Structure 1
């Protein structure tokens, strides 16, 4: 901003101009004496006032502040990503209209596991990971893969046992009562 300080009228003019973008209306609202001026003269004076270096600098500085406040900073982005990673972020999802009032009904939804993982990945990209951390991550990934494989093996074994049990049941169903009694006697002799 210029080293020259704005007068009260100049500041009011500049602030009004920032709000409306209309120099003539801003000039009138700023308190300049316009009663005996033609609309052409007011427009001329407003344009001259707008071009004064101290006013132009002030408007430019204020506009930059406004623009800067609209742009997300890195810290704000990281805070948002962190909220997602922690499962704290939530959004509203439209679920329909209330039958009684006809008003829209919303419910809160939270990030999915995939969205949380994506947030973790996004955060970790910004921070260097030490070799010890990398090793720990690899170990955890290996353990997760091993656990998943063990779960698949257990599932396959359970399915195989069901198949064997089903086949045994089918064979038992085909046996006569006499054959079943003989089997029971044989099983009873082994217990002694």
Structure 2
């Protein structure tokens, strides 16, 4: 794509102004032909392509990249970036630079953690651990209930209470409850 300097100026002016006639005049076309030349230039594939590429480039320069976002969040989380705050005082007001408060830092950390896939694995492992602990407690409860149902009278009450306090105390004289039954 070979554009003349005049065509490039036209394209750049058109991007700034959004008006083909004014862009043509600013690029150096005569005022008499500016309207027709501006319209004609917008139909040329090379110029249209140049305009589209420049628009995309300008948009990407204005929009933060994911890397820039992560870097900014990291600066906030580490309190290495400061914000300007206006504070009223006896003389009127003053501007003070202050680091982000803990609430803002924690929010930045949460946002950073969302972007790491391993975070899901950690949560998954924690949930598995909690479920396993709940299953163990349920199994112990079932064993105690089954054992209590097999015992009789005072022996039943005393051994069940002892098992709840300390499972080893429920085995009198070193014998297992099941051996007694």
1:17 aligns with 2:6: no
Aligned with 2:78 (options 60, 64, 86): 86
User: 1:98 offset after TM fit, Å?
Assistant: 7.5
Gaps in structure 1 of 5+ consecutive residues:
136-192
Gaps in structure 2 of 5+ consecutive residues:
127-181
TM-score (norm 2): 0.60
* 1:69 paired residue number: 61
TM-score (norm 1): 0.56
User: 1:97 offset after TM fit, Å?
Assistant: 7.1
Looking at structure 2, the residues matched to 17 and 112 of structure 1 have their Cα atoms a distance apart, in angstroms, of: 45
* 1:106 paired residue number: 95
Looking at structure 2, the residues matched to 56 and 8 of structure 1 have their Cα atoms a distance apart, in angstroms, of: 15
Aligned with 2:104 (options 115, 118, 125): 115
Q: 1:98 to 1:72 in 2, by over 3 A?
A: farther
Looking at structure 1, the residues matched to 86 and 64 of structure 2 have their Cα atoms a distance apart, in angstroms, of: 27
CA contact (8 A) 1:98 1:105 kept: no
Aligned with 1:28 (options 17, 25, 35): 25
Partner secondary structure for residue 115 of structure 1 = helix
Looking at structure 2, the residues matched to 113 and 83 of structure 1 have their Cα atoms a distance apart, in angstroms, of: 13
1:55 aligns with 2:44: no
Looking at structure 1, the residues matched to 110 and 19 of structure 2 have their Cα atoms a distance apart, in angstroms, of: 48
Q: 1:98 to 1:13 in 2, by over 3 A?
A: farther
Looking at structure 2, the residues matched to 58 and 119 of structure 1 have their Cα atoms a distance apart, in angstroms, of: 39
Partner secondary structure for residue 64 of structure 1 = helix
RCO (CA 8 Å, sep 6+): is it higher in 1 or 2? Answer: 1
Looking at structure 1, the residues matched to 63 and 9 of structure 2 have their Cα atoms a distance apart, in angstroms, of: 26
